[in-house]
Structure 1
Amino acid sequence: NTPHEAGPSVDSEGRIFVSSTAGGMDCFSPDGQKLWSAATDKALLTTPAIGADGTVVARDFARDLWAFSAKGMILWRQETFTPSSATIVSDPAVGPDGVVYSGNQDNSLSAYEGLTFEEYLASLPEPPKLEEQDGWLVLGDHPVPIEA
């Protein structure tokens, strides 16, 4: 059994999401069968928030925010730097536009815009292309002679 200290959250399909103090997020079917676990390197302590797109967000003991897809993939992690007057102390909330909100110990509110997995992939630089040019193999900007 995985230890859970925070309350569960239920999405529109009846899936149950629970933060794990063993480090990660657990997802269960409506009949209680474990569907998946996503491991993190820190204990998650808050009740998960669920966005309209199915993104699940929770906070760890170091006050970092973690976002998961509804299928258990880690989408992003928002690190905070302590000590700080803006360290995250509350359960997160997800707005209808996907912005994640969290209250801070200095009575301020932080808003975070995470990337979906597709946006993350699109943000990666393209790998260099391998081409043949005039008897040379060119990888990006690096030509290598082709030996006959």
Structure 2
Amino acid sequence: MVDRLTPERRSWLMSRVGGKNTTPEVRVRKAAYALGLRFRLHRKDLPGKPDLVFPKRRIALFVHGCFWHRHPGCRKASNPGTRPDYWGEKFSANTARDGRVAAELEASGWQVVVIWECETKDPESLSRILRDQVLECFASL
């Protein structure tokens, strides 16, 4: 598939992709708050700076973009047609870092929860995921 954008326009567009306060992250925050969950954002003292942190229960929640973090089986985790070597290395490094961060958090007594970008689209489904993954962690402690 040929890219419809010029390399300069593609570079500009990719530079606009932020790391914090993304739309999926804000959706998760709103859903968590609606369930009565209270959290802290982007704790710099924790590995990977989790998107939401429930300090009392030691739960670190990450909202991963399907493209950047390679959500298995998701159509958004497509491979760009140009520069396959670069993208292969980039995606491998991202997934390796995700695994390393999760292992560090778990080794220090934190539970890690990952919510994927595509799971944030439907509010009811997102609430169910938060109840199942976060509130269950609250109940087990």
TM-score of Structure 1 vs Structure 2, range by shorter chain: under 0.3
| Structure of larger gyration radius | 1
- Richer in strand (by share): 1
Superposition TM-score, scaled by structure 2 size:
0.25
TM-score (norm 1): 0.24
Of structures 1 and 2, the one with the larger relative CO (CA 8 A, separation 6+) is: 2
Normalized per residue, which structure has more helix? Answer: 2
